[in-house]
Amino acid sequence: MYPGAIAAVTPDKPAVIMAGSGRVITYRELDEESNRLAHVFRAAGMRPGDHIAFMLANHPLFLAVAWAAHRSGLYYTPISSRLQADELAYIVGNCGARVFISSADLADVATSITAATPGVELRLMLDGVAEGFTSYEEAVAARPLTPIEGECQGTDMLYSSGTTGRPKGVKLAATHAPLDEPGMLFKLIQGLFASSGDSVYLSPAPLYHAAPLRYSLSFQRLGATVVVMERFDPEQYLALVERYAVTHTQLVPTMFIKMLKLQPEIRAKYDISSLQYAIHAAAPCPVPVKEQMIDWWGPIVHEYYAGTEGNGFLYVGPHDWLQHKGTVGRSLLGVVHICDEDGDDLPPGEHGTIYFENGGRFEYHGDPGKTRSAQDPRGRGWTTLGDIGYLDAEGFLYLTDRRSYMIISGGVNIYPQEAENVLSVHPKVADVAVFGVPDEEMGEQVKAVVEPASMEEAGPGLEAELIAYCREHLAHYKCPRSVDFRPELPRHPTGKLYKRLLRDEYWAKS
């Protein structure tokens, strides 16, 4: 299914409800809006396989923009609304976007990248106008409400980290299949979570992330209503479940933690009995947190392990999890292998790199080196996300480490190399290491350990200066929340930083 097919049957049914404003986008409006924008793309010369990018917060038309690109057969890259100009310009340029869409509330950063992104041929702005941008509303107003000729499915291209700290686009194979042909994720969601046109899906996270975007589009394929939170608030979340009789939702462990910290009378205030499936992923969930959530919500808490790359999918329901606490599930897509450094399979219980056999195919856009690094060194076609874990005797997977010291804070992936690259050029920094340290609420927070040019300058003043400097160049969530100083950092004579030694020191204190 797709919005046009749903609109033909239930045109006035809400496709999107914005939690804060209450604005409703019906299936008729979703279909017509995405058709109009698809005609704008076609008039701009866009053809299947071409690329657009858009930077929006959780805007009422976010999913309409995504559907317009999807039904035009395009690659589409939604970009975090929290990025700084340099980061934004890099992604827009690197993905080869010929169209860039943003909104008036983000005009300052959106307009700042014009000179740095000469490949963009059309810039559209929602809710206002700005220099170099055409009014989105005016651009779509005169376009037909009917579909473009030759509709076919596009696909997202979301950005992950590169070996140099620069993000890299995860490029999935484009099938250009008919719009009504469901993909594997849709089949998994429908099969595992009993989703249907009667479902109400609550999305509390930014839609530019892989899971919120892909799950919201999949639920709309069914004709379900998607309730979108502009930003997560634990009490508002519970109120929304009651108000809209939410049946399905997807969260990250940090959201669980924030709700568990609510006063008992607030937690008991709302009727959440409509919830049938609470799905979580994106970060490891502490066992005590998940136990408390199951005690509170009942056996409706489901977990999966997968990546933006789509090369594998593991799942565990609440009953199996209670028998295998800490697992992230058993594989439903791709055969899981745990391998040592030589690529040999390890027996159950032994830790190694997690590989998927016969999973989805992908590449890192413009980075063949990183693409090769995700592939099995034996050339068997297996791929990895770089995570470390082990299997038990029944095939349940347990994660024991994170890929390349990636930090997961509140379910958001943070790559410390970006902050290290920024801080390393500060004149008062001789050496720097950035990594994650334990944080009770967020799971991890970003920590920097700095070897200053002069230890005499080490202290609160320099700490504040370095944090502020980093925030000038990167989104704030990527920057250290605290800085410690050392006269020397542990490095091998070859120059390799022993970040593990530093990280282990901090985690041993937790």
| DSSP states of 95-151 | TT-SEEEEEGGGHHHHHTTTTT-TT--EEEEETS--TT-EEHHHHHHTS-SSPPTT-
- Domains of the chain are 29-179 (3.40.50.12780), 182-308 (3.40.50.980), 324-401 (2.30.38.10), 410-508 (3.30.300.30)
Beta strands across the sheet bearing 167-172: 134-135, 122-126, 99-103, 51-55, 75-79, 155-161, 167-172, 362-364
pLDDT one-digit tens code per residue, 390-427? 999 999 999 875 656 778 888 887 878 788 878 888 88
d(CA 256, CA 260): 6
Q: How far apart are CA 448 and CA 419, in angstroms?
A: 9
Asked if 3 contacts 31 with a C-beta cutoff of 8 angstroms, the reply is yes
Q: What is the pLDDT of residue 163?
A: 36
Radius of gyration of the chain (CA): 23
Q: Provide CB contacts within 8 A for 55, sequence distance 6+.
A: 78, 79, 80, 81, 83, 88, 100, 101, 102, 106, 109, 110, 208
Q: Cα(154)–Cα(428) distance, rounded to whole angstroms?
A: 47
Amino acid at 508: A
Residue 462: enclosing H or E segment and its boundaries?
helix 460-473
The tens place of each residue's pLDDT in the chain, 510 residues long, gives 788 999 999 999 999 999 999 999 999 999 999 999 999 999 999 999 999 999 999 999 999 999 999 999 999 999 998 888 999 999 999 999 999 999 999 999 999 999 999 999 999 999 999 999 999 999 999 999 999 999 999 999 999 754 346 788 999 888 889 888 888 888 889 999 999 999 999 999 999 999 999 999 999 999 999 999 999 999 999 999 999 999 999 998 878 888 988 999 999 999 999 999 999 987 777 788 899 999 999 999 999 999 889 899 999 999 999 999 999 999 999 899 999 888 899 999 998 889 999 988 899 998 898 899 899 888 899 999 888 889 999 999 998 756 567 788 888 878 787 888 788 888 898 888 899 999 888 889 999 999 998 999 999 999 999 999 999 999 999 999 999 999 998 864 434 567 778 888 888 876
The helix (run of H) or strand (run of E) holding residue 222 is helix 210-222
For the beta carbon of residue 24, count every other beta carbon within 10 angstroms: 15
99: number of CA atoms within 13 Å, CB side? 27
pTM of the model: 0.83
CA dist., res. 448 & res. 212, Å (int): 30
3-state secondary structure of 439: strand
The amino acid occupying position 229 is: M
Distance between CA atoms of residues 131 and 70, nearest Å? 28
**326, amino acid identity:** G
Torsion over CA: 56, 57, 63, 64 (sign): negative
CA dihedral 231, 233, 237, 243 (to 10 degrees): -80
Beta strands in 10-56 (DSSP E): 14-18, 24-26, 51-55
* Contact indicator for 437, 447 with CB cutoff of 8 Å: yes
Amino acid identity at 344: D
Q: Is 256 within 8 Å of 289 (Cβ atoms)?
A: yes
N-to-C CA span, the chain: 49
- Find the helix or strand (DSSP H, E) in which 227 lies: strand 225-228
3-state SS of 72-102 is ECCEEEEECCCCCHHHHHHHHHHCCCCEEEE
| DSSP state at residue 105 | G
> What are the distances in angstroms from CA 267 to CA 262, 263, 294, 296, 432?
6, 6, 14, 9, 43
Picking from 373, 483, 421, the residue whose alpha carbon sits closest to that of residue 87 is 421
Which amino acid, residue 412?
Answer: V
Q: Are 19 and 229 in contact (CB under 8 A)?
A: yes
Over residues 173-213, the pLDDT tens digits come to: 888 898 888 888 888 899 999 999 999 999 999 999 999 99
Residue 45: predicted pLDDT: 97
CA count, 13 A, side-chain hemisphere, 464: 3
Spatial distance between the Cα atoms of 295 and 299, rounded to a whole number of angstroms: 8
Which residues, other chains included, contact 495 with Cβ-Cβ below 8 Å and sequence gap of 6+?
Answer: none
